[in-house]
């Protein structure tokens, strides 16, 4: 019991991500800033820490709530014959943006507030977190998304099935290539924003073509990670000098 109490007392700082939300260097002068070491590929000690599992639970709950609210919003707009009688497209945008804002605010200090496998993948490529934590986060995020969609289906099965569960699809008139390109660009903007917002120095799902919505975000995340680490921060060049 004593060991568990000590672990809880230390909290997320015991096995934290490397600058997950960019708070550690706030108030630090740029000249005093030191680049944190990259996260190890495997960090077995994390598996013995309650803070590791607490972070995964936070990602699960956040993704669950995000999918639950946003799917209901999309289906509410879809079922209406008149968009003027619903929150409309702008309301959907506010739903997604508002939920992300609230959930990141609530979970940032616990898990980093990723709530998206693409964000976790990009941060892993930049060595901001270990492979152990990245895999755990992605598994918990996917489980949270499945459960969130499942609860919606359980409450509104007819509406859910009639609107395809609110899943992403390539709109009529667009090719799969166009959809893939849109996913890459959109995810690049998302993950690059995450990198910029969490930079400690600067602060001193399911469809008929599901691969597009996995490949696109992961490519976008990878490009954002490379752009931030190589172009903006010039990490490889710093290590040579």
CB 167 within 8 A of CB 56: no
Q: How confident is the model at residue 209 (pLDDT cuts 50, 70, 90)?
A: low
Structure tokens at 147: 């459960």
Q: What is the pLDDT of residue 51?
A: 93
pLDDT digit string, tens, across residues 77-94? 877 777 677 888 888 889
90 vs 131: which has the higher pLDDT: 131
Nearest to 71 by CA among 95, 107, 88: 95
Structure tokens at 184: 């890459």
pLDDT at 16 over 50: no
Mean pLDDT of the chain: 81
CATH number for the 47-167 domain, one of 3.30.70.980, 1.20.1080.10, 2.40.440.10, 3.30.70.920? 1.20.1080.10
Upper half-sphere CA count for residue 153 (Cβ side, 13 Å):
11
214 vs 114: which has the higher pLDDT: 114
pLDDT at 7 over 70: no
Averaged pLDDT for residues 1-5:
47
pLDDT at 187 over 60: yes
- Cα dihedral sign for 113, 119, 124, 125? negative
Stretch among 79-88, 122-131, 144-153, 213-222 having the lowest mean pLDDT: 79-88
């Amino acid at each position: 019991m004593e060991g568990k109490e000590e672990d809880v007392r230390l909290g997320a700082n015991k096995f934290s991500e490397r600058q997950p939300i960019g708070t550690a260097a706030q108030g630090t002068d740029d000249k005093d800033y030191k680049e944190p070491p990259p996260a190890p590929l495997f960090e077995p000690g994390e598996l013995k820490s309650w803070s590791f599992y607490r972070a995964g639970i936070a990602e699960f709950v956040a993704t669950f709530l995000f999918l639950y609210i946003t799917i209901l919003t999309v289906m509410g707009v879809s079922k209406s014959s008149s968009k003027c009688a619903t929150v409309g497209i702008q309301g959907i945008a506010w739903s997604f943006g508002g939920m992300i804002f609230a959930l990141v605010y609530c979970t940032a200090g616990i898990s980093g507030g990723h709530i998206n496998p693409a964000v976790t993948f990009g941060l892993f490529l930049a060595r901001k977190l270990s492979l152990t934590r990245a895999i755990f986060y992605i598994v918990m995020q996917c489980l949270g998304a499945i459960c969130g969609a499942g609860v919606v289906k359980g409450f509104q099965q007819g509406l859910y099935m009639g609107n395809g569960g609110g899943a992403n699809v390539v709109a009529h008139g667009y090719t799969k290539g166009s959809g893939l390109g849109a996913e890459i660009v959109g995810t690049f903007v998302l993950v690059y924003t995450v990198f910029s917002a969490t930079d400690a120095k600067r602060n001193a799902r399911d469809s008929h073509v599901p691969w597009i919505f996995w490949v696109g975000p992961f490519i976008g995340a990878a490009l954002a990670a490379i752009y931030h680490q190589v172009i903006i921060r010039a990490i490889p060049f710093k290590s040579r000098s």
